[in-house]
Amino acid sequence: MEKLQSIEQYDQLKNGERTIFMFSADWCPDCTVIEPILPRLEADYPEYTFVEVDRDKFIDLCGELDIFGIPSFIAFHNGEEAGRFVSKNRKTLEEIEDFINGLAE
């Protein structure tokens, strides 16, 4: 999964056709648990660009987006927020798939 490098890159990716940002941190045990399933998600949903956002590196962005728990996901379609799966709880593959499948076209 691509890692976010700058706010400018975030703005560019957010305005892309379909992007899902995953907010995480190296120290987060629940983020580590889902790490092995991320390549499968990318393979199963090729219409999306998946981008990992380091919560500690982009703390101001997380504040702007109301990301107060990780791992969390926010999807954008052409610059508009299409959905969010934001909480401090551990996420299962099924829950993440349900979130992606429920995104508005």
Q: Specify the number of domains making up the chain.
A: 1
Residues 6+ apart with CB under 8 A from 85: 72, 73, 74, 91, 95, 96, 99
Active site annotation includes 62: no
pLDDT, tens only, 70-88:
999 999 999 999 999 998 7
pLDDT exceeds cutoff 70 at 61 = yes
What single-letter amino acid sits at 47?
E
Residue range(s) defining the domain that contains residue 23: 2-101
Average pLDDT, the chain: 94
49: three-class secondary structure by DSSP: strand
**Cβ–Cβ under 8 Å, residues 52 and 24:** yes
Q: What is the pTM of this model?
A: 0.94
**Cβ–Cβ under 8 Å, residues 75 and 83:** yes
Active site annotation includes 31: yes
What local confidence, expressed as pLDDT, does residue 89 receive? 82
CATH number, domain with residue 26: 3.40.30.10
Tokens of 89: 């709880």
Residue of 4, 22, 28, 65 marked catalytic: 28
Residue of 20, 22, 31, 75 marked catalytic: 31
The DSSP symbol for 36 reads G
